[in-house]
Amino acid sequence: MDVMGNIVYPIAGLLGLYGFVSLASLLWEGIDRKLVARMQRRVGPPLIQPFYDFLKLMSKETIVPNTANYMFRAAPVLALATAIALLAYTPMGFTPVLASKGDVIVFIYLLALISFFKIVGAISSGSPYAKIGAAREATIMVSREPAMMLAIFAIMWRLGKLGVDKPFSMGIFYQHNIWEIGTPMSFVGAIILLYVFCVWLASEIEVGFFNIPDAEEEIAEGLLVEYSGRYLALLKLTKALKAYIAASLVVAIFFPWGIAGYFGLTGLSADVVNLLFHTLKVFILLFVVGSVFRAVTGRLKITQAVDFLWRNVFLASLVGSLLLAMEVIM
C-alpha cells in the first residue's frame, strides 16, 4: 500500500487547505464588512476585524447554561470538524483531495450536516429563542436544498453523458463544464440554474432575504443565542468556512476555468496559482450574492421565504434542469 500517496499527502493537503481557507474566509468577512459599510456610507471596521473577533472570543470565558446537555458543547466542535472534512471534497481550482465516485452526494450531505449540528446544539441549549431559531433553520433548510439537489444532479447527469470516467464526482467540473454542452437550450438552462444557485448560496450563507434563523433583532441571534467564548468562535469560523465552501461549489460549476495553463505551470505551483485564482472568483461571487444582496434587501418572514424558495426557486430549478436535459431525452 502506498502510504505516502494515500495517507500522508491527503492529510497534509487537507491541513494546508484548512489553514488557507480559514484565513481566506475570515479575510473575506472583513472585506465584506468594509464593502457593505462603504455602500452604506459608513467607514466600517478594519479589514482584519474578524481575526480580532475570533481571537477575542477564543480568550473569553465560556458560559454554558445549566439547562444545556452535552450536545451543546459537542455541536460547535462537530460542526467545525464537518466543515474541515468538507474541505477534502470541495473543488478549489483543482480536483478535490479525496475525489472519488459519487463525492457530490457526500458533499451535499456534509453541507447539510453543518446546519444539522447547529440545530442540535441550539435545541440542546434549552433557550426558547434558540428553539425558534432551530425551527426556522430546519424549515428553510428543507426548502432550499431540493432546488439545489435537483439542479446539481441534472448537471452531473448531463455532463456524465458527455463521457467522463467518474460521473457524480467533483472532478467532473475540471474535465467538462456546463457551458460546453453547446446547445442554445442548455445555455438558457444554465443561466436559469445560475440564478437558482445564487439564491441557494444566499440562503446558505444567510444574507439579505434569508437572514432568518439568526435574525438578530427578532430572536436575538437565534441559534447562537446561548453560545459564548470558544464555542461561539468555533461557530463563527464554521460559518465563514461554510460560506467559502458553498461559494466554491457554485464557482466550480459555472466558472471552473483556471489560469495556471496560461503561465505554463504544472504540479504544485499550478495548484497554488489555481487556488488563488479560485479564491478571487469566490470573493467576487460572494460580493455579488452576499454583500450586494445584503445591502439592498431586508429580511423576509419565514413563511414568505419558504414560499419564495418553493414557488420561485424550485420551479426555476425544474425548468432549468429540464432545458438542460432536453436534447438527451428527445
Partner 1 sequence: MTKVEYWVKIPFGPIHPGLEEPEKFILTLDGERIVDVDVKLGYNLRGIQWIALRRNYVQIMYLAERMCGICSFSHNHTYTRAVEEAAGIEVPERAEYIRVIVGELERIHSHLLNLGVLAHDIGYDTVLHLTWLAREKVMDTLEAVAGNRVNYSMVTIGGVRRDIDEKRRRIILDMIKYYKEVFPQIEDIFLHDPTIEARFRDTAIISKRVALEQGAVGPTGRGSGIRDDARWSERLGVYPDLGIKPVMPQDVTGERPRGDVFDRMAVRIGELWQSLELIEHALDQMPDGKIKTFPKDNVLVAKLRIMVDGEGIGRYEAPRGELIHYVRGKKGSDKPLRWKPREPTFPNLFAVAEGVKGDQVADFVVAVASIDPCLSCTDRVAVVEDGKKRILTEKDLLKASIKKTREINPEIKGDPTPVGFGCSR
SS (H, E, C) the chain: CCHHHHHHHHHHHHHHHHHHHHHHHHHHHHHHHHHHHHHCCCCCCCCCHHHHHHHHHHHCCCCCCCCCCHHHHHHHHHHHHHHHHHHCCCCCCCCCCCCCCCHHHHHHHHHHHHHHHHHHHHHHHCCHHHHHHHHHHHHHHHHHHHHHHHHHHHHHHHHHHCCCCCCCCHHHHHCCCHHHCCCHHHHHHHHHHHHHHHHHHHHHCCCHHHCCCCCHHHHCCHHHCCCCHHHHHHHHHHHHHHHHHHHHHHHHHHCCCCCHHHHCCCHHHHHHHHHHHHHHHHHHHHHHHHHHHHHHCCCCCHHHHHHHHHHHHHHHHHHHHHHHHHHHHC
* 295 in contact with partner 1 (CB under 8 A): yes
Q: Which stretch binds partner 1 (CB under 8 A): 5-13, 163-171, 217-225, 270-278?
A: 217-225
* 228 in contact with partner 1 (CB under 8 A): no
- The distance of closest approach from Cβ of residue 121 to partner 1 in the complex, given in angstroms and rounded to an integer, is 19
* 296 in contact with partner 1 (CB under 8 A): yes
* 155 in contact with partner 1 (CB under 8 A): no
Q: Which stretch binds partner 1 (CB under 8 A): 39-47, 100-108, 144-152, 318-326?
A: 39-47
- Closer of 219 and 235 to partner 1 (Cβ): 219
* 302 in contact with partner 1 (CB under 8 A): yes
* 63 in contact with partner 1 (CB under 8 A): no
- Return the residue of 19, 46, 102, 128 that touches partner 1, per CB under 8 A: 128
- Return the residue of 64, 135, 138, 316 that touches partner 1, per CB under 8 A: 135
* 40 in contact with partner 1 (CB under 8 A): yes
- Return the residue of 300, 316, 322, 326 that touches partner 1, per CB under 8 A: 300
* 43 in contact with partner 1 (CB under 8 A): no
Place of cell 455579488: 288
The interface mask with partner 1, positions 169-208, x = CB under 8 A, is ---------------------------------------x
- Closer of 101 and 301 to partner 1 (Cβ): 301
- Return the residue of 6, 9, 42, 109 that touches partner 1, per CB under 8 A: 42
- Closer of 215 and 246 to partner 1 (Cβ): 215
Binding site for partner 1 (CB under 8 A): 39-42, 128-129, 131-132, 135-136, 208-209, 211-212, 215-221, 295-304
